[in-house]
Every structure is written in structure tokens, then in C-alpha cells.
Amino acid sequence: MRTQDPKQDNSQDQNQNFTTENQQPPFMENPDNKFQSLKTLNDMLVKEAKKRREQVESLMKAKEALESELALSSNEKSKLETEFGKISDGKVSLDIKNGLFYVFIEAQMAEMGGFVDGLVREKNEKENEKEVKELR
């Protein structure tokens, strides 16, 4: 196990960093190679930036199209809700009319039933009278 003063460790690290910084790879020693490498890197970065800008532009267009479609759908939904409200009101009105008509028909049938009952009674009475006369 090493037990050294932390200041000594730090100075050794600095010395090591200094030596590695001064030791450049062989291809970087040549300024033309370094320039070419930087130029290639720059071209790659420019292409990547262009690609990202195109992606952002495409996404923005898609977002605008979706927002437009959403607005149209919202407008259509509002119209359908209004129409549904009118239809619902019409259905309620129709249900009320049907109920009233049913009550009216029921009353008419009861009245006609009473009338028919009266006619049947009258007929039966006449038949009974006729039978009584025949029996006499």
C-alpha cells in the first residue's frame, strides 16, 4: 500500500499530463494532416447540422399540419355537438308528441268502446225482446 503525501500525488499527475500533452500522435505532427482532419471534422459537423435542421423543419411542418387538423376536428366536433343537441331536443319533442297522441287514442278508444258497448247492449236488448215476443 502506498502512503504518500497528496501534494506529491498531484505533482506526479501534473508531470504525467505534461508529458502526454507534449507527445502528439505522429499524424498530428504534420500541419497538413491536422488541417485535413479538422476540415473533415468540420464537413461532418456541417452535414450533421444540416440534417438536424431538416429534421426540425420537417417536424415543424408536421406539427403545423397536425395543429390545423386538430382545429378542423375541433370545429367539426362543435358542429356535431350542436346538431346532436338539436336532434336530442327534437327527440324529446317527438317523445312528448307520441305520448300525447297515445293518450288521445286511448281516450278515443275508450269512448268508442263505450259507444260500441252501448250498441251491443241495445242489440242484445232488441234480440231479447224479439225472443220474448216469439215466445208469447
pLDDT tens-digit map of 74-92:
999 999 999 999 898 888 8
- In the numeric block, the cell 476540415 is attached to 39
Distance CA 91, CA 84 (A): 10
- In the numeric block, the cell 343537441 is attached to 85
Residue 101: is its pLDDT beyond 80?
yes
Sequence spans of domains, the chain: 26-135
Residue 32: is its pLDDT beyond 90?
no
